[in-house]
Amino acid sequence: MKTRFILIETSHPGNVGAAVRALKVMGFDELVLVAPRFANVLRKEETIQRASGANDVLDRTRIVDTLDEALDGVMHLCATAMTPRDFGPPTRSPRDHFEQLLARHDGAALLACPGTDLGVSAPTVPDVSMAFLFGSERFGMKNEDVYRCHVALSIPTNPQFGSLNLAAAVQLIAYEWRLALGGYAVNDATAAPELADAAQVAGLLAHWERALTDIGFLDPLAPKKLMPRLNQLFNRAGLSPEEIHILRGVAKAMSQAANLKR
């Protein structure tokens, strides 16, 4: 599903650069600016720096004069507005709306045409385009722009302080939409640990049995259940070979200390 992010009358070049970076991170690459404050915003140093290497998305970003131009080809339109509008579209959280949208339309092609209720099915569209509208930093979204949308997405925030930076809002919406579409796998930062085998654990237990006897903690004539319980403890711990070496080092130090004391 094609996805377009539209920023209306953006004031700060840094927000444009940060939005570009946010889209790149979430795997989106279509950004359109409607009448930004600076005509050369895409070439400003702050924009380039805040894009932080997402140059391909920055190069693809378009600037248009009107919202109509930015909406060309869009089939489903989402406003981002914290405050509901009278006579406006329904207000939903991003996650709730995306779940309903993809469940109702089987994840892809049946979307309501602009200006209709979400529940009215449209003919199958082979190349559906989704768009998210973001208002200016100073004024937010105009009522007439919100009225054109199927839904007003409201990010759940602290009721006493719900004002989000523009780029942060773009990042959150991009994340939620990517998550709804399937998301990306999380790559482990470290390799899965190698586990010690049964022979290594048995060797550790034997070593600890000697050390505990040396320090007087274990009576070999009346061992009771100490060693079986330690065996279960080590099994639950899922020790690595390196951890086996550490614990055997502890046992060695225990025996040495006991011998010195004697």
Predicted TM-score (pTM) of this structure: 0.71
Task: Provide the angle, in degrees to the nearest 10, between the axes of the packed helices 166-181 and 13-25.
Answer: 20
What's the maximum distance between 2 C-alpha atoms anywhere in the chain?
91
Helix (H) / strand (E) element for 221: namely none
In a domain, 190, yes or no: no
Mean of the per-residue pLDDT values of the chain: 87
Residues spanned by the domain of 157: 2-181
pLDDT of residue 124: 40
CA 75 to chain centre: 26
In a domain, 105, yes or no: yes
Encode pLDDT of 177-213 as tens digits.
999 999 888 887 777 788 999 999 999 999 999 999 9
Among the candidates 131, 151, 181, a domain finishes at 181
Could you write out the DSSP letters of every residue in 145-204? Answer: HHHTSSEEE----BTTB----HHHHHHHHHHHHHHHHT--PPPPSSPPPPPP-HHHHHHH
> CA 135, CA 10: separation in Å to the nearest integer?
7
Q: What is the domain-level CATH number for residue 226?
A: 1.10.8
Among the candidates 152, 181, 210, a domain finishes at 181
- Match 């309501």 to its residue by tokens: 112
> CA 99, CA 77: separation in Å to the nearest integer?
15
Encode pLDDT of 96-120 as tens digits.
999 998 887 664 443 433 333 443 3
> CA 32, CA 57: separation in Å to the nearest integer?
11
Among the candidates 181, 210, 232, a domain finishes at 181
Do 126 and 18 fall into the same domain?
yes
pLDDT bin (cut points 50, 70, 90) of residue 163 is confident
Using the predicted structure, report yes or no on whether residue 71 has a pLDDT greater than 70: yes
What is the domain count for the chain? 2
Encode pLDDT of 208-228 as tens digits.
999 999 999 999 888 889 999
pLDDT bin (cut points 50, 70, 90) of residue 48 is very high
> CA 184, CA 173: separation in Å to the nearest integer?
15
